[in-house]
Structure 1
């Protein structure tokens, strides 16, 4: 199954972007080749651009506090595992305290690093990180794997609480939805009078179906049309009945 996620507000869209970028850094920074460490650094610079919003930290703190209050109300509920609830509350508390300890804007210490910012500025130019334009960066890429990985640890460690907070929120969001089976007749599915306004839609479809979903949704209606994954015509639709699963997720 392939899962497609559609964020339904800008806050969730940002969190999904950051989750993806953190995952890329995790993968590329643990590899050995200089090209892979270059890719990890590109993802780090993208995180800086996404987190340039001054209210991201307050958004995360607000949402974590909201979820903490909701979870505390579940204590002594016979249908809830006390051990699992305690672990989750502890994770939220740790991420909350870590976010509070971040001085100023998220990633401010990276923006204060002149060497990193000089590399970031050149990377915004196509081919701008060439060795003849950035000899200091070429020197870093030529350093030992241990040196480069130590630098990534130094750059990423202060962001751990940010990442943990994002992961807690997205995990709770994803787990809030229950998947139901539907069929897109002749490649088209519509639903009106939605029960509530969701924050995230999760659509799963078999990877054997050579179609991709185009989803548009608001608080009044949901429209899905499945199109060939390599479509030469803009309005082309997969003219077959397509089974899929859909979950509405909300915090």
Structure 2
């Protein structure tokens, strides 16, 4: 199955974008190549851009506290594993404490580094980080993989409480829903939601079916139109019935 997630509000959209960026950064940092570490650094600049758009830290702290209070209510419930519950509460409390310990504006340590900001501004220009534009960056890229990785670790470490907090929130959000089987007649599906408080919808399709959902939604209605993904990767209109799983998620 391949799953497509569609957020209903800007807050969840921001968390999904940051999750994707943190995953990419971690992937490229694990490699040893200079080009991979360049991508990791550019991705770090993207994290800085997305995380600085909203009061993300406060939102995460408030949501984690709300989830903590919800979980506390399950204490002494015979149907709930006390060990699992304690583990979840501990994870939330650690993430909240780390977020509370963050001081100043998100990513301020990066903004105060003139060298990094010069790379950031040049990276926005196609081909702007060539060695003749930024010789000092060319020198850095020719350091050992371990030296570069240590630097990348130091630059991203102050942002990791954000990653840890949003990972917990998104995990709880995804686990909040239960998939239901549906059929899009003639490739189209519509559902009236009547002012639902849903925060995200997940659409899962068999990968072998090669159907791509085009989703539009708000709290009043959900519309899904499936397109067929051909060999040239350009979606074509679909008039066949499509089986899919639909999951509504809400914290």
Give the TM bin, normalised by the shorter chain: over 0.9
The match for 2:144 is 144
Q: Does 1:5 align with 2:12?
A: no
Over the residues paired in the alignment, what is the CA RMSD in angstroms?
A: 1.7
The match for 2:213 is 213
Q: Which moved more, 1:71-80 or 1:4-13?
A: 71-80
Aligned residue pairs, count: 250
Flag the 1:4–1:45 CA change in 2: closer, same or farther, 3 A.
same
Q: Does 1:38 align with 2:47?
A: no
What does residue range 95-110 of structure 1 map to in structure 2 within 5 Å?
Answer: 95-110=95-110
Q: Structure 2: how far apart are the matches of 1:194 and 1:181? A: 21
What is the CA-CA distance between 1:237 and the residue it aligns to? 2.3
Q: Structure 2: how far apart are the matches of 1:49 and 1:202? A: 26
What is the CA-CA distance between 1:191 and the residue it aligns to? 1.1
**Any idea what the Cα deviations from partners look like across 1:106-136, whole Å, max 9, x if unmatched?**
1111111111111101101111111100001
Q: Does 1:168 align with 2:168?
A: yes
What is the CA-CA distance between 1:157 and the residue it aligns to? 1.7
**Any idea what the Cα deviations from partners look like across 1:22-65, whole Å, max 9, x if unmatched?**
00011001111111111111110000000113511111111111
The match for 1:186 is 186
The match for 1:112 is 112
Q: TM-score, normalised by structure 1?
A: 0.95
Q: Structure 2: how far apart are the matches of 1:43 and 1:213? A: 27
The match for 2:197 is 197
Q: Is the 8 A contact 1:28 1:40 kept in 2?
A: yes
Q: Does 1:60 align with 2:90?
A: no
The match for 2:22 is 22
Give ranges in structure 2 of 5+ residues lacking alignment.
none
Flag the 1:199–1:54 CA change in 2: closer, same or farther, 3 A.
closer
Q: Does 1:224 align with 2:215?
A: no
Q: TM-score, normalised by structure 2?
A: 0.95
Q: Structure 2: how far apart are the matches of 1:236 and 1:53? A: 36
Q: Secondary structure at the match of 1:208?
A: helix
Give ranges in structure 1 of 5+ residues lacking alignment.
none
Flag the 1:52–1:193 CA change in 2: closer, same or farther, 3 A.
closer
